[in-house]
Amino acid sequence: MTQQTRERRAHRRLALTCPIVVSDEGGRELLRTRTLNVSDGGALLQAPADRELAPGEPLKLLLRVPRSTPNTYMLEDFSSGANVVRRQPVADAAGPGQYVAVRFAEPLGLELEV
C-alpha cells in the first residue's frame, strides 16, 4: 500500500523563469539571478555557491514577472520582503551553485497562469 503525502503549500507553484534582484534589508544589492519556480507565497532561486544566504535571513526582492498578450510582451515588477527558508547546494555544467527557497512576507497577487 502506498502512502499519500499531503501537499503543504498554500499557493500553487509554477515552473517560471523570472529575473529577480535580491537585496539585504538595508537595500544593498546581493545578487541578480533568476527564479526556477514561483508562487504567490514564495520562489526558488538560483545563486552562486559563494553567496551566503542563510535560512531565516531577511531579504528584499524585486521580481520581474513576464506578461504577454497577442500583441505585446512586458515584465511586471513586484517588490516584496522575504525570508530564506532553505538552501541546497547543486552542481551543474556551469559549476557549483545553490538553490535558495524564499517565502514572501505577504502573498503576492501574481495572477499566474498555467
Kindly list the domain boundaries of the chain, sorted by start residue: 19-104
CA atoms within 13 A on the CB side of 12: 7
pLDDT given for residue 100 in this prediction? 95
What distance in Å separates the CA atoms of residue 90 and residue 36, rounded to the nearest whole number? Answer: 13
Look at the pTM and tell me if it is higher than 0.85: no
Distance of CA 37 to the CA centre of its chain: 6
Q: Which residues contact 80 (CB under 8 A, 6 or more apart)?
A: 60, 61, 63, 104, 105, 106, 108
Record the cell numbers describing residue 57, joined without a space. Answer: 535571513
3-state DSSP assignment of residue 22: strand
Superfamily grouping for domain 19-104 = predicted glycosyltransferase like domains (2.40.10.220)
Q: What is the pLDDT along the chain (114 residues), one digit of tens a residue?
A: 455 555 565 667 888 899 999 999 999 999 999 999 999 999 999 999 888 899 999 999 999 998 877 788 888 999 999 999 999 988 776 678 999 999 999 998 888 764
pLDDT given for residue 45 in this prediction? 95
pLDDT given for residue 25 in this prediction? 92
